[in-house]
Chain A
Amino acid sequence: MEFADLIKISRIDNVRVRRAGKPCIEATVAVTGHHLIISSSDTKDSTDREMWLLHRGILSVSKETESNRSGTLLLKYKDMRVFNLDIIGQDCLTALTTSLQALSNVEEQTSSYPFFYNPGFKGLEDGWCLFRPEEEYCKLIKGAESTWRVSRVNHEFSVCATYGKLLIVPTNLTDSQILTVAKHRIGGRFPVPCYLHNVKNNSIPLVRGSYTVAGWRNGEDEKLMAGIRGSNRKGFIICIHHDKIKMAGGKSEYDTVYAQWKRVNLRLPSLSELRESLNNLSAACNDPGNDKWISKLASAHWLAHVKDVLNAACLAAQLIEKENAPVVVIEQEAADLSLILVSLAQIILNPDSRTLHGLEALIERDWIQGGYKFWTRHGSSSPDRETSPVFLLFLDAVFQIYTQFPYSFEFTDRLLVVLGDHSFSSPFGTFLSDCEKERCSYSVREQTVSLWSYLNQVEILSSMLNSLYIPNNSVIWPSVAPMSIILWTSYYLRWVQDQNNYTYERRKITEIIERNKTAKLQALRLRRELQELQDEALSLGLLCTEDTERRDSDNSVQT
């Protein structure tokens, strides 16, 4: 496809750019195949001088005509930015609007920016090779090889189209039995373990899977559940619902068939609720002067959703850590909120997932291999039922835990912001496609650059490291009280609020910690030096201990 056909106008001069919380600027707007470039010379802020905005990041384009001569283009981006472009000339305005609408709606993944991006850096390691499922899964089941094995049954994506090639399954099931189980589950997404938690030499699995296809019993499925339960007396099934009706009629086969399992029903926000919620939050955030800010924040419900998922994750973690019971999280398709739940539970339980590499591995395992529809949920611009900021909700919940335990994370919330942004629009291929199968068919790994290659460069990495980090090997329990859940200002309000304080604070913290380290080293060095000198002086007889001194003075008294 030719982008040139979609670009109706490539450049407009004298555009007035209005944004909430920032002064107006005069700018020139240029449109390319993948970017909208807003450049301006009359601004003091260096970041405003040239803004490259990926079309993929556009949430909505709409125009308001003020008069025959001029009009306003309202441009909303998925990263919460809102631009008002005052454009003189009806033709220009219409041309720009249609161009941007068309460009942001290009649905072919292969024509998206990652396939054209040429990195200006040479990464030390290729991000695509950083997390090989083989190694990751072996690491995961280490020590529990008697109960779990890595299966290649999905090598051709025939068992489950949206799972990765490799899967962890209980050892009591053969590959052909797995095939039967998959048919019994919606989308073939049968329960797979995400994490094994070690409590008292016993590894307790955290599992996610989709609902069973209703109707009949399936012996293999029961066997799988038994395999997950292992030697544990009981297990818990956390059942995620999105609506009240199902909750009320929640008569499920589980209660009778899986008697060893206790079912917990949780109502969590649906995809459309989340989408609505973020839109409302975005509207409130981009209206800085509004006196009704707090009630708008309340009615956006976003914080309530954050609290809900945190609460649910805490419940899952608690069942594992305190009750030592296996937990299976089930959801209609097990591709959205169940991912949040299991990932958050890992952040709470697993100290490794609080490191930089650990978080990347977690995202790679549970979200990318796990088949989160990044392209459908985040990449697409069409405001249909399928888009939803699920991954962002996860990042926000991680942020909440991070603010409550700022010494327990190797990274700062800066990393979370970057991840959030790249999930919506990115020059990198990591968050491209909906599942592994798609990724393979588009040769994403071969043709695009991995986000991890970019992030793991030393200078980028160092800007995200938390200088306060002290490895914490224990489980961390976040508070979910209403006043403990705060708005993630460095994400949602970063465009309307001055972020200088934030950067200043991080810099100062690093300074203080570094200075302390230097002081410790210096004191140690001087002590060693003094010790050596003292030994030398002692051997020369220049120093005496108190005993010899006393003896000497006694002698002098006697004489």
Chain B
Amino acid sequence: MKMEHIATPKVENVHLLDNINPRNSTVGTLYITTTHLIFVSPEDKEELWILHMHISSVDKLPLTTSGSPVRIQCSNFRVVTFMVNRDRDAQDIYTSLAQLSKPSSLEDLYCFQYRAKNDLPQPTGWTFFELSAEFQRQGVHSKHWTPCSLNNEYRLCPTYPRLLMVPSSASTLIVQGSAKFRSKGRLPVLTYYHAQTSAALLRCAQPLSGIKGRSSEDEQFINCILESNTASKFLYIVDTRPKINAMYNRAAGKGYEAEAFYPNTKFVFKGIENIHIMRDSLSKLVETCELKTETIQLFLQGLEQSGWLKHIKAVLEASIFIAESLLNGISVVVHCSDGWDRTSQTCAIAQILIDPFYRTIQVVYVLILILILTLILIKYNLFKYCSGDPKEVSPIFTQFIDATWQILTQFPQAFQFNAKYLLTIHDHVYSCQFGTFLGNCAKDREDYRLAERTYSLWGHLTNTADEFINPLFDSSSKPDILNPSTSPQNIHFWRGFYCRFEVGTHPREPIIDLLTLTQLHTASLEDHAKHLSKRVDGLRSLISSAKASGAVKKFLPSVVTGTKSSTEETESELDKVEKRFVDLKTALVEKCQSSKILELFNLLGDLEDCSPYLTLSVGSPVVYSLHRKRSFEPLSSPSEIPLTLDQIQQEISSVAIFWETRRECSDCSCGIKISYSVPVKNCTSCGRLFCERCMHRRRVLPGHALAFNNSDGRRRSSNISQSSLASLITGSGSPSPRSSLNIPVSPVKFIQMRTYPVCSNCYRDTSSEQ
């Protein structure tokens, strides 16, 4: 257990030094828990939480007169320096952190201990993605492409997933021959199929042409790929490396394809540098950001010398080349050395460019892409997490996130998610809080039984989706392909990423944050208005019918009795639903574990039938939230009038029309000072502002039970928040421009139910009333 590593759990009177001006400091207490390093300063009302897994290095700097400084560098580019009074304490902190941040065994990793604070069930998210379903969505032509069973036992290639898509015309012999000819057995397999042009994107490792010269099977295999796309007479083989690297590899027995041996192929080098150069480049960049008394000149020179933006540009250019070829109907085979770094990057970005589907947050499928990445990519995670070879650590993923951000800044209207989403994903790649990024390949992940033992990041993200929605997203504009400019003037330094924790350098009034909050506010108000107008209609018809019948006084008792009977009915109904719900839940969990996604969706269809009382969180198909009790309310059709004055009053006051702004609010209720760097959220119920950590509760707006219109057959939609939801989440309501959507994207959309963040107080109030 980790406890033994903690030499001193608490050190008082520690100074947190300001990075810009070390003479400024914050005094507070440092706590070391099994998972976090926490610095609390009651005077300045500040808290700092650092996950041990984020710590990339701890240094004990030379003693000074004011104490013993300990410097901590994190993988999310946070750098903090603590000044500890006693050298012994500093030594303790240093050794504890050094051990805690590099667990010696996999079992010590945070994800195996992590339990979700909210009621999110553990299997959520593990089933969001299935390779076969994704290929179906892409509309892979079954005549030309076929799943290959050779890797079912990971015999063909241990670093590939079980399911491989290969051309139908390739025989087993050819496939095996090709695998033998490729480094690490990574033969060309399908990553993306562009249905409009039937061009395919394939990824592989470099051929072993240096030793074996040529392989007829591999040549035939490439030819099969070419023939699978009848529209084009040739295909591109893209080697993402600089030519010199490829030639160097050739001397080592590997190398690249000779155009002469592969008829009808065009061979291209793309000149993206290797992981070692990238790593050096990033560390130079980080150094530049950390310079203290620097001028703009030094900063810009450092930026230039790091070469980081140039590398980003190279990655983008290669990706654009791939995307454009696919759009022109030419299949592309991509490789670098082993086909897991640069190849994954460029393939993934090419797909973001070409397919709008990958730019949506919708039910989290966007991240399939990244999953594809991880499925086939060795990310050296294990080396990184546990103390391993630092040579293999590389900022490939950081670069991927950065490149995606570059596209996002150039096409803000095309992305459903915002930069915060990218940052959060990047954080969790290193946090190890979720099992999603653990392991290097599908085989590893199965071996560790991650899906059963850990939470999935995707489940977590869907549960808090509204933070990640890009307010500038425009669902109506869906260009076929994004064509970002790679002019050096357009490749920007991402301050929000590399200097994220240098809070002083950022805009004090971030626009995107305000817009995101405003959109959430608007959605809650529009929902509220809909409900209010329903109530207005109900009351109006009640009054007019009462007036018409003239039996005003006589009417009262009947209403009361009516109430009672309907309540009883509802209760019995509730029991039934409850039972059904429990059954379904069990079934769901089972299905989730067996990861049969299609069955899961059928089941969700069933769930829909009983769901007047079921609350589903936004964006997640499987979050059958246990909050449902909060939404237990009788179905209110216009004829069924709210029965009491208090109820109306409560409904009226349940949604805040005016929200507190940052300027009006100095402290959160937990005592933390709300400075501009603290992420905040408003409670939809009372409108007050809280720091993000105090706002993890969600609820359906009162009076907004999920109701289904039973008249229009199988696909029913919630009549409550469908439109506002649609506009907020999917825009037009259509999740993808593809017509060939035969996998379960559409059903999921219909069972979404808008829940809104509320503060703990309001949450308690509403739950006690139920």
Residues of A whose CB lies within 8 Å of any CB of B are: 21, 285, 288-295, 297-298, 301, 303-304, 307, 403-408, 468, 470, 472, 476, 479, 481-485, 493, 496-498, 501, 504-505, 508-509, 512-513, 515-516, 519-520, 522-524, 526-527, 529-531, 533-534, 536-538, 540-546, 549, 552-553
- Say whether A546 contacts B644, CB under 8 Å: yes
Selected from B289, B294, B519, B543, the residue in CB contact (under 8 A) with A533 is B543
- Say whether A297 contacts B526, CB under 8 Å: no
Write the chain A residue with the least CB distance to B653.
A527
Binary interface encoding of chain B residues 373-413 relative to chain A, with 1 for a CB under 8 A from any of its CBs, else 0: 00000000000000000000000000000000000001111
- Say whether A501 contacts B410, CB under 8 Å: yes
- Say whether B532 contacts A527, CB under 8 Å: yes
Binary interface encoding of chain B residues 471-503 relative to chain A, with 1 for a CB under 8 A from any of its CBs, else 0: 110100000000001011110010100010010
Residues from chain B with Cβ under 8 Å of A512 in the complex = 471, 515, 518-519, 522
Q: How far is A504 from B526 in the complex, measured between Cα atoms in Å?
A: 24
Q: How far is A112 from B637 in the complex, measured between Cα atoms in Å?
A: 73
Q: How far is A520 from B490 in the complex, measured between Cα atoms in Å?
A: 39
* B555 contacts chain A at the CB level, 8 A cutoff: yes
Q: How far is A83 from B741 in the complex, measured between Cα atoms in Å?
A: 49
Residues from chain B with Cβ under 8 Å of A498 in the complex = 485
Q: Majority SS of interface residues in chain B?
A: helix
- Say whether A505 contacts B472, CB under 8 Å: yes
Selected from B289, B487, B532, the residue in CB contact (under 8 A) with A530 is B532
CB distance from A553 to the nearest CB of B (A): 7
- Say whether A523 contacts B515, CB under 8 Å: no
Residues from chain A with Cβ under 8 Å of B102 in the complex = none
- Say whether B514 contacts A407, CB under 8 Å: yes
- Say whether B655 contacts A523, CB under 8 Å: yes
- Say whether B528 contacts A523, CB under 8 Å: yes
* B157 contacts chain A at the CB level, 8 A cutoff: no
Given the known inter-chain contacts A288-B489, A482-B295, please indicate yes or no for A526 contacting B533, CB distance below 8 A. yes
* B63 contacts chain A at the CB level, 8 A cutoff: no
Q: How large is the interface on B (under 10, 10 to 19, 20 to 34, 35 or more residues)?
A: 35 or more
Selected from B295, B303, B525, the residue in CB contact (under 8 A) with A294 is B303
- Say whether B289 contacts A544, CB under 8 Å: no
- Say whether A542 contacts B644, CB under 8 Å: no
CB distance from B530 to the nearest CB of A (A): 9
Binary interface encoding of chain B residues 702-714 relative to chain A, with 1 for a CB under 8 A from any of its CBs, else 0: 0000000000000
- Say whether A481 contacts B555, CB under 8 Å: no
CB distance from B287 to the nearest CB of A (A): 13
Given the known inter-chain contacts A526-B536, A542-B546, A553-B560, please indicate yes or no for A509 contacting B515, CB distance below 8 A. yes
Q: How far is A405 from B511 in the complex, measured between Cα atoms in Å?
A: 9
CB distance from B474 to the nearest CB of A (A): 7
Q: How far is A135 from B222 in the complex, measured between Cα atoms in Å?
A: 82
Q: 8 Å CB contacts to A: which residues of B629-652? A: 641, 643-646, 648, 652
- Say whether A288 contacts B542, CB under 8 Å: no
Given the known inter-chain contacts A479-B505, A508-B471, A540-B552, please indicate yes or no for A545 contacting B644, CB distance below 8 A. yes
- Say whether A470 contacts B663, CB under 8 Å: yes
Q: How far is A484 from B289 in the complex, measured between Cα atoms in Å?
A: 11
Binary interface encoding of chain B residues 531-550 relative to chain A, with 1 for a CB under 8 A from any of its CBs, else 0: 01101100110110011000
Write the chain A residue with the least CB distance to B301.
A298
Given the known inter-chain contacts A505-B472, A523-B528, A530-B535, please indicate yes or no for A496 contacting B542, CB distance below 8 A. no
Residues from chain A with Cβ under 8 Å of B555 in the complex = 541-542
Q: How far is A510 from B528 in the complex, measured between Cα atoms in Å?
A: 22
Selected from B296, B519, B532, the residue in CB contact (under 8 A) with A303 is B296
Given the known inter-chain contacts A304-B297, A523-B525, A549-B560, please indicate yes or no for A481 contacting B502, CB distance below 8 A. yes
- 12 A-B pairs within 8 Å (CB atoms) are namely A294-B300, A404-B509, A407-B509, A479-B508, A504-B412, A512-B515, A512-B519, A519-B526, A542-B542, A544-B644, A552-B557, A553-B564
CB distance from A59 to the nearest CB of B (A): 20
Selected from B304, B499, B526, the residue in CB contact (under 8 A) with A483 is B499
CB distance from A514 to the nearest CB of B (A): 10
* B211 contacts chain A at the CB level, 8 A cutoff: no
- Say whether A541 contacts B552, CB under 8 Å: yes
Selected from A301, A505, A522, A546, the residue in CB contact (under 8 A) with B297 is A301
- Say whether B522 contacts A516, CB under 8 Å: yes
Please name 20 further chain A to chain B contacts, defined as beta carbons within 8 Å, in addition to the given A476-B508, A520-B525, sorted by A numbering: A289-B487, A294-B309, A295-B301, A485-B296, A501-B413, A508-B471, A512-B515, A516-B522, A522-B529, A530-B648, A537-B543, A538-B645, A540-B546, A540-B547, A542-B542, A542-B552, A543-B645, A546-B644, A549-B644, A552-B560
Given the known inter-chain contacts A541-B552, A545-B644, please indicate yes or no for A530 contacting B295, CB distance below 8 A. no
Residues from chain B with Cβ under 8 Å of A543 in the complex = 643-645, 648
- Say whether B297 contacts A523, CB under 8 Å: no
Residues from chain B with Cβ under 8 Å of A285 in the complex = 489
- Say whether B543 contacts A468, CB under 8 Å: no
Write the chain A residue with the least CB distance to B474.
A508
Write the chain A residue with the least CB distance to B306.
A294
Residue among B474, B546, B556 facing the most chain A CB atoms (10 A cut-off): B556
Write the chain A residue with the least CB distance to B561.
A556
Residues from chain A with Cβ under 8 Å of B646 in the complex = 545-546
CB distance from B235 to the nearest CB of A (A): 29
- Say whether A483 contacts B493, CB under 8 Å: yes
Q: 8 Å CB contacts to A: which residues of B219-261? A: none
Residues from chain B with Cβ under 8 Å of A295 in the complex = 300-301, 304
Write the chain A residue with the least CB distance to B488.
A293
Residues from chain A with Cβ under 8 Å of B661 in the complex = 470
* B88 contacts chain A at the CB level, 8 A cutoff: no
Residues from chain A with Cβ under 8 Å of B474 in the complex = 504, 508
Shortest 5 CB-CB contacts between residues of A and residues of B: A298-B300, A293-B488, A482-B299, A519-B525, A526-B532
* B658 contacts chain A at the CB level, 8 A cutoff: yes
Write the chain B residue with the least CB distance to A496.
B489
Q: 8 Å CB contacts to A: which residues of B173-188? A: none
* B310 contacts chain A at the CB level, 8 A cutoff: yes
Write the chain B residue with the least CB distance to A498.
B485
CB distance from A329 to the nearest CB of B (A): 23
- Say whether B413 contacts A545, CB under 8 Å: no
- Say whether B652 contacts A522, CB under 8 Å: no
Q: 8 Å CB contacts to A: which residues of B95-115? A: none
Residues from chain B with Cβ under 8 Å of A404 in the complex = 506-509
Write the chain A residue with the least CB distance to B555.
A542
Given the known inter-chain contacts A481-B502, A546-B644, please indicate yes or no for A526 contacting B509, CB distance below 8 A. no
CB distance from A282 to the nearest CB of B (A): 13
- Say whether B294 contacts A482, CB under 8 Å: yes
Q: How far is A321 from B591 in the complex, measured between Cα atoms in Å?
A: 65
Q: How far is A484 from B493 in the complex, measured between Cα atoms in Å?
A: 11
- Say whether A526 contacts B488, CB under 8 Å: no
- Say whether B648 contacts A534, CB under 8 Å: yes
Residues from chain A with Cβ under 8 Å of B116 in the complex = none
Residue among A406, A481, A513 facing the most chain B CB atoms (10 A cut-off): A481
CB distance from B718 to the nearest CB of A (A): 19
Q: 8 Å CB contacts to A: which residues of B273-330? A: 289, 294-301, 303-304, 309-310
